[in-house]
Amino acid sequence: MTATPVLRTEHLSRRFGGLNAVSDVSLSIPEGETVGVIGPNGAGKSTLINLVTGHLKPSSGRVLIDGRDLTGARPWVITHAGVARTFQIVKPFRGMTVRENVAIGILYGPHGVRRMSHAREQATRVLEETNLADLAERAPGELSVADARRLEFAKALALRPRLLLLDEVMAGLRHREIESSLELIRTLKTRGITIVVVEHVMRAILAVSDRVVVLHHGKVLTEGRPRDVLSDPQVVEAYLGHRYAQRRTGGS
């Protein structure tokens, strides 16, 4: 008998009016695996994460965490099941410092640390791990793009998740900043955390993913080993088609 996957989606779908944003997606992710999810803008990557974390309700299909059916459950229920995520558009608590942003997850997350002194200690550890220690007393609004993305990461890690979903944490980062994010992901992998990485930075996907899933128009176009998938003509075309379209419409 094989172990129960940490995350399983069964025929997961979400419509917005007439648009099938996520369509019949069935995935099974065993404990400790890092799965890269790629696909052009609008492919349904963020929607997929939102469906798994309870930020959106599916139109049909199921979401199972450790075999438990949590389809349509509220986000905090899913958080308490050991799932954490980052947001593509960073969402810090604005009236608080960087340290307090992290401490919140430690105090109110699934591991519910009650003592403020313990929470501060743990927050310091997470801030060190994410290279934010020097910025601990700053307001989130003062952070650079790279540091704001790292804070998203830190807030998620504060929950000590078993399943971590990262939505474009490397977007807009420089080479060196990408390297430090990859280093962090590698560290989390060695701890056995199961990770879903949504990313446009192909180098990053290749560096950390055990498996890659390609979404296109909400559907799984293909999946497999990173190198095989990225040399797949269908995948290349999906991307090239997208880039050409962007160039024609003057997008970036």
Using CB under 6 A, which of 46, 79, 181, 209 touches ligand ADP?
Answer: 46
For 138: left if phi > 0, alpha if psi spans -120 to 50, otherwise beta; the answer is: beta
- Our CB check for Mg ion shows the closer of 40 and 105 to be 40
Partners of 68 in beta bridges: 65
Strand segments (E) across 76-179: 83-85, 163-167
The CA-atom distances, in angstroms, between 212 and each of 55, 98, 99, 248 are 23, 33, 34, 29
Cβ-contact 179, 131 below 8 angstroms: no
Q: Is 100 helix (H, G, I), strand (E, B) or coil?
A: helix
Using CB under 6 A, which of 5, 36, 44, 92 touches ligand ADP?
Answer: 44
Using CB under 6 A, which of 5, 39, 82, 92 touches ligand ADP?
Answer: 39
- Our CB check for Mg ion shows the closer of 46 and 130 to be 46
Burial tier of 124 (Cβ tally within 10 Å: 0-12, 13-18, 19+): middle
Name the DSSP class of 162: S
Q: How far apart are CA 205 and CA 168, in angstroms?
A: 11
Q: What angle do CA 193, 195, 196 make, to 5 degrees?
A: 170
| Candidate segments 39-47, 107-115, 129-137, 181-189, binder of ligand ADP by CB under 6 A | 39-47
Residues 101-120 that bind ligand ADP (CB under 6 A): none
Residue 226 interacting with ligand ADP (CB under 6 A): no
| Candidate segments 27-35, 43-51, 66-74, 238-246, binder of ligand ADP by CB under 6 A | 43-51
Task: Quote the least distance from Cβ 47 to ligand ADP, whole Å.
Answer: 3
Give me 223's structure tokens: 């999946």
Residue 221 interacting with ligand ADP (CB under 6 A): no
Q: Give the residues lining the site for Mg ion (CB under 5 A).
A: 45-46, 88
Binding site partner of 42, from ligand ADP, Mg ion, none, Cβ cut-off 5-8 A by kind: ligand ADP
Residue 27 interacting with ligand ADP (CB under 6 A): no
Task: Quote the least distance from Cβ 230 to ligand ADP, whole Å.
Answer: 17
Residue 47 interacting with ligand ADP (CB under 6 A): yes
Residue 25 interacting with ligand ADP (CB under 6 A): no
Binding site for ligand ADP (CB under 6 A): 16, 19, 21, 39, 41-47
